[in-house]
Structure formats: structure tokens, C-alpha cells
Structure 1
Amino acid sequence: MFATAFHDTFFAYTLRSAFGSRFFPHPDERELPVVWQTKRATQTSPRDSVQLTLNDVPNPDVRSIASEATVIANTPVKEDPEKGQDTMLVGWYGPTDPDNPQNWSSWKKAWVMFQTCLLTFAVYLGSAIYTAGLPGVTSEFHVSNVAALVGLTVFVAGYGLGPMVWAPLSEVPQIGRMPIYIFTLAMFVVLQVPAALATNYGMLMAFRFLTGFFGSPILATGGATIADIYAPKKRAYAMTIWGLFATCAPSLGPLVGGFAAHVEGWRWTIWEILWLSGPTLVLLFFFFPETSASNILYRRAKRLREVTGNPSIKSASEIAAATMTPRDVAVDILVRPFALNFQEPIVLVLNVYIGLIYALLYIWFESFPIVFVGIYHWREQMLGLSFLGIFVGIFMVIPPFFAYLYFVQEPKYNEKGELKPEERMPIAIVGALIVPVCMLWFGWTSRASVHWIVPIIGSSLFGMAALLLFNAVLNYLADAYPAYAASVLAGNDFIRSMFGAAFPLFAGAMYRNLGVGWASTLLALLACAFIPIPILLYKYGERVRMASRRARHDYD
């Protein structure tokens, strides 16, 4: 079990690159070379291909991978006219193959899930924690508050743009997800240093953008990682936990950074990001495994070619890649997320809606200093405590939501453990109705004559709505476009980040000119305009999905 924790991690890859397969070997590497050589020595003709099955393997632990004798690398796919033999397809060693992420033990899935959530929290915290140091930035660099706020918007823009590059790369079988996470996180950690030591405004803005760009893959690909290891029936629970970390981080950022910025200055908010992301990088380097099934099978085919010396052994992804030119690959990587985002009506509509919710969150954050410092006269270092209402609301909604998943949604799954994507929408409808209620409650109770706890209770409703909406939409997209999960979630992250980057720049002026009550009413009306989206998708989404050539059609 101890060795399993390191299996297929970046640490294991590094050791294997330097010293070969003696470190963390796969079962087929331990058993197949001897068996293969034995069969080659006893074959009647040197020109005959060697057929190897798991029944030939002496180790019962390896044989037990399959429910029956499974032929390794002997499924003919196409004729190679030059070599006169068929390409041999490598797949899973049966339905219980332990290398298949869907078959990992519960503890291993939970361990991967924890690391995914920790990385998500570390990156999302990097956006909102910066706001605690805004007064220090304006003072040191002699810029306006709006100019200082650009440090938030460029970071959000960076982690919106980044997944459009990193997510498609993670779907390339020869690369996989784990190397993308490790490389970009290492850059994210390193670039915090020049950001914290910035000597002028331009330098700070440049490095804030770069840290957002390199920290971004987990924000979209994290959902694809969860889809890699959890079957659809249990994925909603995992997505909820992931959404919990993603939603809590922005609400905790001002609290985490508030006291440090007040005592030590704005640079400490950046150092705090480094202190969290640095240990996270070390943890992922040693313990985060590859989860992409196509990458795992690609590496299996590569191992079997080395063992057997048979170049015709290939994975399905290699066979598909053989027909693609470098131009096709480049277009597939760079264009696919944008094509999915703007050519698929369902994707575009849902992304715009989640972008609106994300924008409301960041706009709304700008009202908290006006309300709790300006109206209720809190000290600035205590302002972060006002965001705890959102945090509490998220936790409060999880028990009833899990009960809904278990008692209402799970019985709707078919015999293959699949659910029509449209069945995700009822919970999104509930979330959509809560958002305008939250905005009106917060806006019209934020006055000196009303105790400060009342608007904070109202703010908890937003935490509930955000978690329900994010869970429903991300699961819908993963269900409807399983072959492009990372790319379609990258498009979602791109749209919501662009909304989140732009809207805070005018939020302060809006609240000052309209007042908290009327500004909140405007946001509530905007949220109301989008309520029909989940309702229409629940009723007509299947018809639209069936007309798409990229969406999945075979749900019973």
C-alpha cells in the first residue's frame, strides 16, 4: 500500500527515468518479460507473432486483474502492409484492472480528491487575498483604488485564459494531466517571489497576470480529474466537495489576508500565497498520480513494446494520433475549447450564466467595505470576518443537497450508472431562485438601523446558491461532453473569469452612486433575467443536445 501511494506520480516518473523500471514497477513489468521470452523461445517459427494472455502469468495477483483470460496486445485493428501484421490494441486487463482510475480504492480516490481540492483552494485564494492589501498598493505606488484593483482583475483574467491552453494539453495522451499540474504549479510558486518583491506598479501587474495564468489548470481540469476517477453516480458528491473549496477560497481570502496586510503590508498577502502553494507543490510532486485513462493506456502500450520488441502494439489514442498531422494537433489543442464554447448553444448559455454568477460574487465583494466599514464602522482588519456568512451558507446546504442526491437523483440512474444531463437542472433552478433573494436581502438590510448580523445571514444564501449552481452546471457539462470534459470546463472557466475580471472595476462606483440597496436591486433583476435558463434546459435541453455532433447522445 505504501508503494501504491507513489505509483505513477511525478516522483515515480523521475526515478524511473533515471534508474529504469526497478522503482515502482507495474505488475506487467514484473511478470511479462520472463513469460514473453519463454514463449518466444518455444515458438515453432520465428516469424510467428507471440500471443500472451494473463493465464500465462505465474503470479496470481497479476492474473486476478481480469475476470477471465484476457489477451494482451493481440486485438487486430488494421493491417500494416509493410510489416505484414496487424496493429495490436492495448486496453484494460479486464473490468477490475487496478490501473483504471475508476477501479482505484476508496482511500486512493479520497487522497487524490484531497490534493485536487487543496490545489484549487490555493489558487482561488490567490485572487481574493490580494484585495486585503489594496490600500497598501495605492499608497506605495501612488495609484487610484481602481488601478490597484487591476491586480485582482489581471489575476482572474490569467486563470481564465490559462485553461484554454492547459486543459487541451492535459487531454493529449502523450502528456496527461499530472505533468501539467506539476509544471504549472511550480511556475505559480516561483513567480510569487517577484510579485511580492515588485518595485513598481507595472511589474506587480505583470506578475499577477502570470501567476494567474500558470495557476489556472486545476480550475478547469480539476473537474475532469474528478470525472476520471469517479463514476457519474458518485461524481456529484465529489464535485460538491471540490466546489466547496472553490467557493470558500474567495470568501476566506479577505479574512486570511486582512490581518497580515494591516500589520505587515500588502506584500504579505502574496507571501501567504507562497506559503500555501509551496507545500502543496511538494505534496503533489510525491503523491499526485496520473488520472487520465488515455495516458495510462498510452504508457502501458509503450511498456509492452519495450518488453516484447513488437512495434505494432499500440493504444487507441496512438492509432488515432497516427492519422493526424502536426497542424491538426495544434488546431485541436488551441481551437477546440473556443469552438466548444461558441459553437455549442448549451455550453455557451451555461457558461454565460455561470459567468454572471461569478461576476455577481466579485461585484458584491466590493460592497462589503461600504457596508461593514462605512455603515457599521468595523475596523478594516476585521472586514474579512464579514465574508464568513458565505462560508457558513456553503456548509449548511451540503447535508440537504447530499440527501437530495441520494434519495431523489440516484434512483434516476440507468443500469449502466448513467444519468441524463438534464436531470442535473432541477437543483440549478433552486439555486437560480435563491440568488436574487440574497441580493435583495443583503442590499435592503444593510443600514445602521438593522443589526449587522442580518445582512450577513442574507449573504449566506449566496454561498448556498453558488454551490448548487456550480455543481449542477459542471456535472451537466461533464455528462453531456464526456470526451471533451477538460476543454469544455476550460471554456466555462474562461467565460466566468472574464466576467469576474471586468465587473469589479466599476462595482465601487456603482454602489457609491446608486447606494447599496438600489445597486443590489439592479443585480437581483439581472439574476432574475437568467432564471429561465435552467428551466428551459431541463425541458428542452435533450432536444438541443441530440442535435449536436459533439455532445453525447446514448443516454437511455
Structure 2
Amino acid sequence: MLKLLFIKMAANQDLETTTQVADASTLDDLRLSPGTVFLSHAKDAPIILQPRPSEDPNDPLNWSKIRKTINFSLVLFYTLLGFAVITVQTPLWAPINEDLGFSSVALTNGYATNVAALAVGCVFFVPLALKYGRRPVYLTTTLLMLLSCIWQAKMTTLADLYLSVFLSGLASAVNEALVQITIADLYFVHQRGTMNGIYILCVAIGNYLAPVASGYVANSQGWTWSFWWPCIFFGVANVLMLFFYEETKYIGPITGICQANGPNPSVHTEPNLYEKAANDKETSVGDPIPTISHLEDPSVYINRNIPLKSYRERLPWFVNSPGSFASFIRHIYQPFQVMGLFPIVAFACLQYGTAIAWLAILATTEASLFALPPYNFNTIAIGNLNIAPFIGFLFGSVFGGPINDWSIVRLARRNRGIYEPEMRLRLYIIPVLAMAAGLLMYGLTLAKGVHWILPATGSGIMAFGISAIMDLNLSYLIDAHIEILGDALVAVTFVRNAIAMVIVFVLPPWMNGMGTYNMFVIMGVLSLTFGLTFIPMMLYGKRVRIACSSRYARYAQKQFSPRGV
């Protein structure tokens, strides 16, 4: 056994001293495993904040709750509108066909074009956000989505359709990567699951309640007003983002604080920590480890001598991160390297991509098949079908968010206070089974033309599984690879939309050639097969992180402003 490590825990604004015995394997875990952190050692002990906030009061991690809430609420409003602009069109296919003569195949191809733009947009906009800050990208894309809605409201030709949805896809792509970066800017490890759950809930509102409203608006005011109303909301969003959204990209001396009377160096005082530890196996585990701030006093010291930024300084047009133009260009192709070199990123791409593919199938088949006999649904009825998956998404966001956050804290306390990102996968089997079962129930009952309540119930069960899987995957990826998060999220977003695009493009010939029933049987089997790949990741994910630690350190240093877990 090694010497005792004394960990000062902050509780009720007083410091209580407890003793934690750490063996050699514990210290090696903290050295070698990106994402492994000390979270909480006992049932009633306070949670140690990870990542360690700096002493700067301008650091977003140190912002007040109300300030974080205002900022994140604006991002959530942006998210809701971004997904709404993608989905409001599907209930309108029948009146658009009647007024403009666009066939169902052309409209399906338009949806696929939108998804393709979602894949491309993140490759362009996320590097800009990493280099120049989140705020200019949010402002620019909000304006672009406003313009795309105006274009769709006034479209008359197929060229208008394809170009307008391509523009909306480019701008909406930010929803699928930059929001998670913003969550990592503002919140700690034990809060990210809940914040991702709230994000997923807003995704559900945009995905499923917006089409409901779109159907009613089209029935009462005409289908063009299903685009004019989003224009109004995007105008409001532009004003709110312009005057109230603060930049969350933090550039400054990031220091991990471990004593209430002053700062100590953080993990980033030595940015090649994992690489050094991986290459230096002879290091004595009994020696002091000054760069591992995870085992230090969790009290947060704020240096009041650092002035707070003014209102104008909090709303910059851009912030220029250190780095050359070549380093900016690197972030356009580096995501694809990250996807190939880090199995956890590849796992997230597969899981997220297939889950979104089933969502795309749900959206397109609802719009096309329920308008045909024996259902003959009008725009309102097709829109109302989205209520069931919205309810499923609601429960899934709770399961993958606060319930999962509660679970990882308990698991960390049972593991001597050490948190492993793979702990987020312990509950994964439940949404995997729900997604496959719901997909089969929806597709097979729809193919047989049974009462609409059965496919609607199936869509709700499927949405529960998809929502929880999305939340668990995002939280797992953030926790395991936060220092390369921008590149990782671009890879995930590109792959998930590429898969969805291919699925939507091949859907009409696939369904016509094989039949709806057989097609959904294959989809259900594929859903279960892909979902169960979480088992090897849950069992061996930590070994994978350790094996990739040296490579991870090198790619972390290629980022504009990496921040440790």
C-alpha cells in the first residue's frame, strides 16, 4: 500500500478533511486514462468539480447559475428552431404536391438533400467556432436559417426546394455539434448528462411538436405560413442572441485550483501528461503528482483582483484563438483522422448515426405512407402522429440525462471515488432493446395497415430508445475525449447525417423492391445488432482509452484551446 492521500472536501462552506487510500492502480488510472477523474468518494461527500475551474471570474465554469441558465436557454431556443426548420415541411408534402406539383420522390430527395447539407455544414462551421468563438457562428447561422425559411415560403420550382433546404441544412448543422461544445464550456462532468438531456428534449420539441403545429397552420392559413411563422421566431432569436448571448469560449490562463487561499497548477500546466505517463512506466507511484489536480482540494478559489468583463466585452463579434491559418484548415480534415484513430469516436459515430437513420425513416414514412389508404390522413393528422415520439423523447431525455447523472455518481462512489466514462454505458441495454422493439412495432403494424394507435405506440417506444442513446453517447464522448471534442463531434455529425442521407435516398426503391414489411424486419435486426456493440465498449473502453492515451495527448495539443476533463 502507498502513503495516504489527504483529500480536502468542501462542504457547507467549511473544509472537512477525509482520508482516501489510493493504490498504485488508482494513480496509474489517473495518469493514463483520458476521462478518468476523481468525482466523489463517499455517499454524503460533495462532488469534486471536473474539470477544475480557473481562478478567473470570467471563466464560464465560474459563472453564476443565472448567467449560465440565460446563456444556455438561448442556445436551447436556437436548437428548437434549428430542428423545427428541418421538420416543418414533412406534413406539408400533400398540399405542396397539390399546389406546386412536386412528387413524393422529389420531396423525399429534398429531405435527403437537407440531411446531406447537415453533414457538410458541421465540417465548415465547427472549425470556425473553435477558432473564432461560438457567438459569431450562432449569429451567422441563425440569420441563414431565417433566410432559408423565407426562401421555402416563396419557392415555386424544384431548384428552389433543393437549394433552400440545402441552405437550412448547412446552418442547422451547428445544432448537432456546437451545442455539445457549449455544454462542455459551461458545465461540469456530473452535470453534462442532464444538460444533454435538456438539449435532447428541445431536439424532440423541434422534431415532433413543430410538425404538429405545422399541420394546423397549413390547414388554417395555408402551407406557406408554416414557413413564415419560423421566420418570425428566427427574427426574435437573432435579436436575443445579438444582445444577450455571451461568448463561452474561454481564452486565458487555465489553472486548476486546489487551495482556498491560492491557485495551484492544473492538469494543463503539462499538456502532454498522458503521453508522458504512457512513455514513462518507471515513474514511482509514491512520488508526488503535481499535475493531477483531480486528487486535490476541490474548493474553488476566485481571484477577485481579476476584473469582470464589461457588458460589451462579453458580447464580442469574434475571439481569435492563437494559431495559424494552417491550424484552422487542419480542423476541416482532422475530424476524419480522429474518427479512424479513436475507437470511442468511431463507436459514437456508429451509434448516433444509426439512431438518427431510424428517425429519418420515421419522418419520411409518416409523411408518405399515412397519406395513403387505409389511413388517408390529412396534414393535421400526419402532424399529430409526432406527439407519440415526442412523449418517447421526453422520457428518454430523463433516462439518459438526470437518471444517468445520478447513476454515475453512485457508481463512482462505489469505485473508490473514481469515475470512468464507461459508467455511462451501464444503462445502455434498456434503450437499445426499446429502439429495436419500437422500430419493429412501428414498421410491421404500419405495413399491415392496422389501427394507427399501434404504429404510433411503436414510434413512441422507438423514440424513447433513440433519445436515451443520443444522450448517453454524447455524454460518454464528452467525458472520454473532451480535449478533442470539436473534431470528434464534427466526425459524429458528418457520419450520422451521411448514414441518414443514404437511407433516405434509397428508401423509395428499397421499399418498392422489398416491401414495407420485409424492409422493417431488416431494419429491426440491424438496429439491435448495431446497438449491442456497446457491450465490448463497456467492457474494454477503458483499455482502449489507455492504449490511445499517447495519441490522444498529441491530438489534444493540436486543438486551439484544449481544456481537460
Give the TM-score taking structure 2 as reference length: 0.71
1:119/1:331 Cα in 2 relative to 1: closer, same or farther (>3 Å)?
Answer: same
What residue is the counterpart of 1:49 in the other structure? none
Is the Cα–Cα contact under 8 Å of residues 212 and 383 in structure 2 kept in the other structure?
A: yes
**Aligned twin of 2:144:** 187
Displacement after TM superposition at 1:413 (Å): 4.0
Q: Flag the 1:528–1:263 CA change in 2: closer, same or farther, 3 A.
A: same
- Structure 1 position 534, deviation (Å): 0.8
For 2:385 and 2:542, the matched residues in 1 are separated by 42
Higher relative contact order (CA 8 A, sep 6+): 2
Take 1:416 and 1:293, find their aligned partners in 2: how far apart are those partners? 32
Per the TM alignment, residue 381 of structure 1 is displaced from its structure 2 partner at its CA by 2.6
1:157 alignment partner in structure 2: 116
One-letter code aligned to 1:159: L
- Structure 1 residue 239: Cα displacement: 0.7
Question: Which of 147, 153, 156 in structure 2 is aligned with 1:196?
Answer: 153
Structure-1 separation of matches of 2:457 and 2:438: 9
Check whether the contact 1:290–1:296 (CA below 8 A) recurs between aligned residues. no
Q: CA deviation at 1:330?
A: 3.6
Distance 1:402 1:239, change over 3 A: closer
Distance 1:370 1:198, change over 3 A: closer
Shift of 1:263: 4.7
* Structure 1: runs of 5+ lacking an equivalent: 1-92, 298-303, 308-316
Q: Which residue is equivalent to 2:494?
A: 494
SS at match of 1:440: helix
Shift of the 373–254 alpha-carbon distance from structure 1 to 2, 3 Å rule, reads farther
Query: Does the residue aligned with 2:75 lie in a helix, a strand or coil?
Result: helix
In the alignment of these two chains, the number of paired residues is 443
Q: Equivalent residue for 1:126?
A: 85
Q: Deviations over 1:69-107 (max 9, x none)?
A: xxxxxxxxxxxxxxxxxxxxxxxx985532111111112
Offset, 1:416: 12
The answer on whether the counterparts of 2:122 and 2:494 sit within 8 Å (CA) in structure 1 is yes
Sequence identity (%): 23
User: Structure 1: which amino acid aligns with 2:357?
Assistant: A
- Cα deviation, 1:179-221, whole Å, max 9, x if unaligned, reads 1111221222234323322342213311221222123223211
Asked if the contact 1:359/1:496 (under 8 Å) is kept, the reply is yes
* In 2, Cα distance between equivalents of 1:116 and 1:473: 20
Quote how far apart the aligned CAs of 1:473 are.
0.9
State the alpha-carbon separation in 2 of the partners of residues 98 and 375 from structure 1.
Answer: 62
Question: Of the candidates 328, 331, 349, which is equivalent to residue 329 of structure 2?
Answer: 331
| Unaligned ranges ≥5, structure 2 | 1-51, 255-305, 310-318, 557-562
Distance 1:505 1:356 in 2: 15
Question: Is the Cα–Cα contact under 8 Å of residues 399 and 468 in structure 2 kept in the other structure?
Answer: no
Q: Which residue of 2 aligns with 1:274?
A: 231
Q: Tell me the alpha carbon deviations over residues 284-305 of structure 1, each in whole angstroms, 9 at most, x when there is no partner.
A: 11111111122798xxxxxx9x
Distance in 2, Cα, partners of 1:261 & 1:390:
21
Q: How far apart in 1 are the matches of 2:133 and 2:187?
A: 17
1-structure distance, mates of 2:253, 2:86: 34
Per-residue deviation, residues 513-551 of structure 1 (Å, max 9, x unmatched):
545433321210111221331111101112222222454
Q: 1:521 to 1:449 in 2, by over 3 A?
A: closer
**Residue in 1 that maps onto 2:46:** none
Question: Higher helix fraction: Structure 1 or Structure 2?
Answer: 1
Q: Deviations over 1:409-442 (max 9, x none)?
A: 1133479997322112123332222111112222
Q: Give the CA deviation at 1:471.
A: 0.9
Equivalences for 1:295-444 in 2 at 5 Å? Answer: 321=322, 325-327=324-326, 329-368=327-366, 369-371=368-370, 374-399=373-398, 401=400, 404-405=403-404, 407-413=406-412, 419-444=419-444
Query: Would the aligned equivalents of 2:351 and 2:473 in 1 still touch at CA under 8 Å?
Result: no
Give distance in 1, aligned partners of 2:53 and 2:450: 64
Structure of higher CA gyration radius: 1
Distance 2:389 2:177 in 1: 22
Q: 1:103 to 1:456 in 2, by over 3 A?
A: same
Are the aligned partners of 1:177 and 1:291 in contact in 2 as well (CA < 8 Å)?
yes
In the alignment, the residues of structure 2 paired with residue 428 and residue 510 of structure 1 have an alpha-carbon distance, to the nearest angstrom, of 30
SS in 1 for 2:427: helix
State how 1:496-535 maps to structure 2 within 5 Å. 496-511=496-511, 514-535=514-535
| Partners of 1:478 and 1:245 in 2: CA distance | 19
TM-score (norm 1): 0.72
SS of equivalent to 1:530: helix
Matched AA of 1:356: T
Cα separation, partners in 2 of 1:538 and 1:296, compared to 1, 3 Å: same
Distance 2:333 2:539 in 1: 31
- The alpha carbon displacement at 1:336 in A equals 2.0
- Residue number in structure 1 paired with 2:203: 246
Output the CA distance in 2 between the equivalents of 1:403 and 1:192. Answer: 35
Per the alignment, residue 138 of structure 1 pairs with 97
1: CA distance between counterparts of 2:515 and 2:401?
38
